[in-house]
Structure 1
Amino acid sequence: MSKTREDMKQSAFQRAQSSLKSFSRRVKREQSSCRAPISFLQLRANTNKQPDRRGNITVIPWTVSAQRGNTISQKENRIVVQEDGYYLVFGQVLFEGQRAFMGYVIQSWSSTEAETRPTELLRCLQDITVGAHDNTCYTAGTVHLLQGDELEMVVPFRPSALISLEADSTFFGLIQLN
């Protein structure tokens, strides 16, 4: 019946260790059950199609390169938001050839406004210096979007822009933050 101090220390240590393991499993289980899955969608330029030139703008043809969740989807060359919230919007375009200024605009078509004009969300503008042949333009930002909003990337005022359609050079996407 008599336990040595060493036995008592060992026993207390084992109980504490067991309690810690149990607590750790419970915290992990509670965290995973409370956390909503994150949705994201990344599009890459579709190499099977040429960019669509509409008057003074160029629209890049897109295809899905990565997607998770169901709160963001693709419709033609736009990204459609299925749930109100905050989102990280990002995009990159690799411009080829010599030009003075190149860039693009990421715009939102609101599902709630009666107007049919888009709202500019992000803009990227690059000055391609003399002698440079290629240049990427990357931008990202956090925005509040509503269900039904549609996002589109356009290259304005450069209908003759040479755009790389490689997946690692030209992409556009959205990550749900909440």
Structure 2
Amino acid sequence: MRRGSGNWGVGGRTPGIPGQCPGLGVGTYMPLTPKHEQRVERQTARKKNQSSAQGPAEAASFTYRRRASSCGESLGWEEQQPFLLAASETSAELQTLRREVSRLQRTGGPSEKGEGYLWLSPREQILEDSQHQDSGCWGKSSDGVEALENGERSRRRRAVKQKKKRSVLHLVPVNITSKEDSDVTEVMWQPALWRGRGLEAQGYVIRVWDAGIYLLYSQVLFHDVTFTMGQVVSREGQGRQETLFRCIRSMPSNPDWAYNSCYSAGVFHLHQGDTLSVIIPRARAKLSLSPHGTFLGLVKL
């Protein structure tokens, strides 16, 4: 609320009460001495006698001039009474507006009962207030506007990052290949869930296109009477090969009971161009190709 502008505030005119003195302001009461009251009464009686001989238009104009000229003088109780009543109503309305603004600041918006007003956004308020800075009215500085714009840009960048899809790849087995010379069994995969462009299934391996921190998990359901079974998850890239994790399980000797699953998981930093593979260090290993028993997956964190 700016001083000296509009119909509300100190020094302004209250709507519906013509002739109110700007110097009094809203809610101001200045008591008069008996001497001043007698002088005002004499002046009022003299003015009424003079205006009785005039027409209605002249009398109204004279009354307006009398009230306007009395702004530099003290007013009597009868003349102050309507101003004080209007000031009280205005003060009550201002208190109601202050409480509504405080409630909206706490709740962040209008109430659920349908009450509310058309509020400007913080950016619009600062920009509007800054327009009155040169005219002497209160307002925010250009530094506040710049700080607000920087905050909005930061929020936009965070929103864009959140909207970016995280790379997720969940694979299920399609087939297995046994290599007698190296005594291993390899698993061929196909995507069951694929989101993002950071990972790609390429037959027996997974290629990483987007470097970062990944959660890697693997499970194989074996149906084999060999005393121990397990899988090894390895990474190859940047001119070297390394084992990320391995899982080993003991197997029952009875073929009817020879079922056991081996699950492992870990968090790793993967580089662009890395390839991941799952190898069972047994030739002709027997394992389940069901998607709920054998699977492999990565999630970028």
2:248 pairs with 1:107: no
Decide which of 178, 183, 197 is 1:53's aligned counterpart. Answer: 178
2:295 pairs with 1:176: no
Distance 2:285 2:173 in 1: 15
Count of residues paired in the alignment: 166
* Structure 1 position 6, deviation (Å): 6.4
Contact 2:246/2:264 (<8 A) preserved: yes
What secondary structure sits across from 1:163 in the alignment? Answer: coil
TM-score of the aligned structures, taking structure 2 as reference length: 0.49
Contact 2:230/2:262 (<8 A) preserved: yes
As a proportion of its length, which structure holds more strand?
A: 1
* Structure 1 position 28, deviation (Å): 7.8
2:196 pairs with 1:69: yes
After the TM superposition, which residues 9-24 of structure 1 pair with which residues of structure 2 at under 5 Å, given as runs? Answer: 9-18=99-108
2:247 pairs with 1:124: yes
What's the counterpart of residue 31 of structure 2? none
As a proportion of its length, which structure holds more helix?
A: 2
What's the Cα RMSD here? Answer: 2.7
Tell me the alpha carbon deviations over residues 76-123 of structure 1, each in whole angstroms, 9 at most, x when there is no partner.
21000112222111100000143311100001111x21x6xx311110
What's the counterpart of residue 165 of structure 2? 37
Gap regions ≥5 residues in structure 1: none
Percent identical:
27
* Structure 1 position 151, deviation (Å): 0.4
Larger relative contact order (Cα-Cα within 8 Å, sequence gap ≥ 6): 1
* Structure 1 position 141, deviation (Å): 0.8
Gap regions ≥5 residues in structure 2: 1-89, 111-120, 123-151
